[in-house]
Amino acid sequence: MLLLALLLPILLSEALAEVPGLDAPSPAAPVIAAQDILAQIRSGEPLNYDNVTVVGQLDLGPEVEPVKQSIRITNSRIQGSVRIEAVTFAEVLDLRGCIFQDDVSFVKSVFQKGAKFSGARFQKQADFAETYFQGPASFISTLFQNDSSFSNAQFNGDAVFLNSGFASDVDFNYAKFLSSGSFLNANFEDVSFFETQFAGQATFRFAKFRGNATFAATRFESDVLFRAARFWRGSTFGLSSFGGLADFGNVDFKKTAFFGGVKFADLAYFANARFDGDLILEGARLYSMQLDNVTFNESSKINLNSTDFSKFVVHWSTIRDRMVYNGAAYLALVKNYKSLEWFDEADECYYQYRRIGQEQTPWGWGKLSDIVSWLSCGYGVRVSYTAFWCLFTILTFGVVFWAGKGMDKFVIEGVELPGDQQLVPSKRVSFTDALYFSIAMFTTSQAPVNTYPVGVYRYLAMAEGILGWFFLGLFVVVLSAVLIR
């Protein structure tokens, strides 16, 4: 990543140097008839024009022999339609800086040494379906003002769409990028990469997707970089596969980000991303997903139903109020946090899982036992709950024994011995003595030697002893589970 950042300014300068000029052709440019250009092509003469206006229809069909000469028409205006279909170009086709005022079609054409369309402007439809680029394909700063298609196209060399703009619908469905594909700083309206293959590194850094962006079933076999891209509408990556690093750092998703059924074989990096809509990962397979410092909208939800992940790095406080409830997803998160040694977050996740499950369970013995587990020990992860009940029980019984005069005390001057004939029973014990008696009953179930309960309070003392055994045992179990990891 550091090497890429260092080389990026150099690559940009070299790529932009290829664009001969982005200014419109001069109104006073020489006029050339399309038929004259076609005649030159058929004769095998090289073409080299700059700043001309081509009038008429450029129509080359599959009956034409492979075009072996170089063709260079730059910074020119082509007023008629261009229909060059199933034609093979043995040399580089150079149409940089041209303005195409009518429909353009290069369907099924073959560019053996590549094609240059940098700085070109397509004002009507542009069709490159099933086109075969054996060499580099350069579309730097190219503007597509109407619908365009690269469906089933194959790029054997580098495909560079740096700073390109797609003002209407464009599809790269079933296209194959066998080398690198760069859409750095590109602008899209509605775009579709359905079942597209990227065999080399794919770059969409700083790209802007103003319409719907579809990458369904796309295969990224190497690293793919979406860093700092912006998705204004829905983004769909369902069933896509990522064989290398998937960098979505600092990406802004304005609507739902759908990654259902996606397979990340390497790191999925979403640090500092922003989700204004939902994040759907249902059925995804994640090797390692990093969501450090991500930001969610207040209404955003996260769906991890049936998601299989080895490492999911995101703090529980970030997602706790956004999880779509699914028991398996919660338990998988608990296991994940324990493997990360984030034990407090594992406890918080498990606690919320049990609370939501309890709320959804119909009334019955199961729900009652869950309520007891919740109140007594916080489902085994809240030792403070058990400590509270211990203290509460001791204090409550102490107050009851004291306020109800439920115990007596044997007193003699200077000595306190039960059973002595000179013992004189007191009318009422102090609150301190009542509290001491309650502690003794709770912890040992045995009254102090100089006090004893009377009347119905004998049964209360017995009940406190039973509660003491229960809460003390529970306290030891919960404390051990929390401390011994």
Same domain, 411 and 284: no
Q: What is the DSSP letter of 192?
A: E
Q: How many helices (H) and strands (E) does the chain have?
A: 9, 49
Residue 64 lies in a domain: no
| Structural domain contains residue 147 | no
* Shared domain check, 478 and 398: yes
In a domain, 330, yes or no: yes
| Residues 321, 203 share a domain | yes
What is the number of domains present in the chain?
Answer: 2
Domain identity same for 412 and 347: no
Domain boundary among 300, 328, 360: 360
Residues 350 and 387 in one domain: no
One domain for residues 305 and 422: no
Residue type, 112: Q
Residue 132 belongs to a domain: no
Q: What is the CA radius of gyration of the chain?
A: 38
CA-CA distance, 361 to 275, in Å (whole number)? 32
Is there a domain that residue 167 lies in?
no
**Residue 433's domain is classified under what CATH number?**
1.10.287
CA dist., res. 278 & res. 297, Å (int): 9
Judge if 281 and 423 occupy the same domain: no
Residue 344 lies in a domain: yes
- On whether residue 49 sits in a domain, the answer given is no
Query: In this structure, are 406 and 283 located in the same domain?
Result: no
**Residues 339 and 272 occupy one common structural domain:** yes
pLDDT in tens, the chain (485 residues): 434 443 444 444 444 444 444 445 555 679 999 999 999 998 888 999 999 999 999 998 777 789 999 999 999 999 999 999 999 999 999 999 999 999 999 999 999 999 999 999 999 999 999 999 999 999 999 999 999 999 999 999 999 999 999 999 999 999 999 999 999 999 999 999 999 999 999 999 999 999 999 999 999 999 999 999 999 999 999 999 999 999 999 999 999 999 999 999 999 999 999 999 999 999 999 999 999 999 999 999 999 999 999 899 999 999 999 999 999 999 999 999 999 999 999 999 999 999 999 988 899 888 898 898 999 998 888 999 999 999 999 999 999 988 888 777 765 545 454 545 444 455 567 888 888 889 988 988 777 767 778 888 888 989 999 999 999 989 888 888 777 76
Domain that holds residue 431: 383-483
Q: Give 200's contacts (C-beta < 8 A, 6+ positions apart).
A: 177, 178, 179, 180, 181, 221, 222
Q: Does 388 lie in the same domain as 356? A: no
Q: Are residues 415 and 347 in the same domain?
A: no
Residue 445 and residue 324 in one domain: no
- In DSSP notation, 38-55 reads HHHHHHT--EEEES-EEE
E runs forming strands in 322-481: 407-411, 424-425, 451-453
Residue 131 lies inside a defined structural domain of this protein: no
